[in-house]
């Protein structure tokens, strides 16, 4: 049984908390409004951006998961949630004399700047153009240069129960497919985020960085057409390239999950078909 702190216990964090609590670990879920955490998870009200609210962390924590997310995509909000909040928590752990066996940070595939459909793995260059990726990378640096053993886990776009925006847009016939060359998106089902994090916690000699995405980088157009077909929705209209959501970011890369799989993790949802398929059943 381990003592586990999940800081920023939201969509991913709460799924992880539920899973770990059900495995009889003692789990604390920290967030500003900690009502409604899964049964068996100790709520901890604190603001990661207010160091004084982190003065009384539970003692003797074995594992820390930093799964907070920014309130908006503005640079200030990103820096606060991913860099300042993480620094504050690491400082608080140090000041309290804690020595967690590992600190995990849920990073993002946005750290890659590749935009021509390249395959990327954990060793690929990380030269993001957008501030969101640059700030994530800065946070990874804070984590990996800390005195604690640490792992950055780069998640793809997280989807799962309750996150139905794309499904509902397709159902209403509002999601257009983009013209132009293929553009790939990378996804991670919420339960694979939680599953991969729990799995990595159990490894004796993990690497410092893992890409946790499903097996199949997919074209957004393909996902939209597949959903429309399954939902019996109107065929998606063809949208000018600039209007399609996946085209606006400029991001276009295919992330490999070979390192995660070689470490022994078996995906629950190997592609968007299994994940969305279950959500629209
Ligand atoms: N969602 C995605 O598509 C995606 C993709 C790649 C990577 N990720 C990464 O995965 C992680 C989890 O994402 P998610 O979708 O689970 O996010 P989420 O549902 O928004 O949950 C984030 C949690 O952080 C808490 N939080 C935010 N600011 C805080 C603060 N200052 N102090 C304490 N708690 C704070 C929020 O609760 P309160 O508001 O109550 O404080 C919320 O419960 C994030 O690190 C995110 O960057 C997500």
What digits encode the pLDDT tens for the residues 1-48?
A: 999 999 999 999 999 999 999 999 999 999 999 999 999 999 999 999
Residue 216's alpha-carbon distances to 106, 210, 253, 266, in angstroms, are 20, 16, 12, 14
Q: Which residue has the tokens 């780069």?
A: 154
The number of the ligand 1 atom at minimal distance from the alpha carbon of 8 is 24
157 CB less than 6 Å from ligand 1? yes
Question: What CA–CA distance (Å, rounded) separates 145 from 152?
Answer: 11
- Distance, CA 256 to ligand 1 centroid (Å)? 24
CA of 82 to the centre of ligand 1 (A): 10
pLDDT at 182: 87
Q: What is the model's pLDDT at position 68?
A: 98
d(CA 246, CA 234): 20
Cα distances (Å, whole numbers) of residue 115 to 214, 218, 220, 258:
19, 14, 14, 21
State residue 181's pLDDT score: 85
Positions in the chain whose pLDDT score sits under 50: none
Q: Is 218 near ligand 1, meaning CB less than 6 Å away? A: no
Check if 108 has its Cβ closer than 6 Å to any atom of ligand 1: yes
Query: Which residues, at least 6 apart from 254, have a Cβ–Cβ distance to it below 8 Å?
Result: 117, 118, 119, 120, 184, 186, 217
CATH 3.40.190.10: does it fit domain 3-161+186-221+251-268?
A: no
What's the pLDDT score for residue 180? 83
The domain limits of the chain are: 3-161+186-221+251-268
């Amino acid at each position: 049984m381990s003592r586990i702190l999940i800081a920023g216990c939201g969509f991913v964090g709460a799924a992880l908390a539920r899973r770990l609590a059900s495995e009889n670990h003692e789990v604390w879920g920290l967030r500003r409004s900690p009502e409604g955490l899964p049964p068996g998870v100790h709520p901890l009200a604190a603001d990661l951006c207010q160091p004084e609210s982190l003065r009384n962390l539970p003692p003797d924590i074995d594992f820390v998961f930093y799964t907070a997310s920014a309130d908006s995509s503005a640079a200030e909000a990103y820096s606060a949630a991913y860099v300042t909040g993480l620094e504050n928590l690491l400082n608080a752990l140090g000041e309290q004399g804690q020595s967690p066996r590992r600190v995990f940070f849920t990073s993002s595939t946005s750290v890659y700047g590749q935009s021509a459909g390249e395959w990327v793995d954990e060793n690929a260059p990380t030269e993001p153009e957008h501030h969101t990726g640059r700030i994530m990378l800065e946070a990874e640096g804070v984590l990996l240069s800390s005195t604690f053993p640490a792992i950055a886990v780069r998640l793809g776009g997280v989807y799962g129960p309750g996150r139905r925006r794309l499904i509902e847009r397709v159902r209403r016939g509002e999601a257009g497919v983009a013209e132009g060359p293929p553009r790939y998106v990378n996804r991670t089902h919420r339960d694979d985020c939680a599953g991969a994090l729990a799995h990595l916690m159990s490894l004796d000699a993990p690497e410092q960085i893992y890409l946790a995405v499903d097996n199949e980088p997919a074209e957004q157009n393909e996902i939209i057409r597949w959903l429309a077909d399954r939902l019996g929705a109107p065929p998606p209209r063809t949208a000018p390239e600039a209007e399609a959501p996946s085209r606006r970011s400029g991001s276009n890369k295919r992330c490999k999950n070979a390192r995660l799989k070689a470490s022994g993790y078996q995906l629950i949802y190997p592609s968007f078909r299994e994940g969305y398929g279950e959500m629209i059943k």
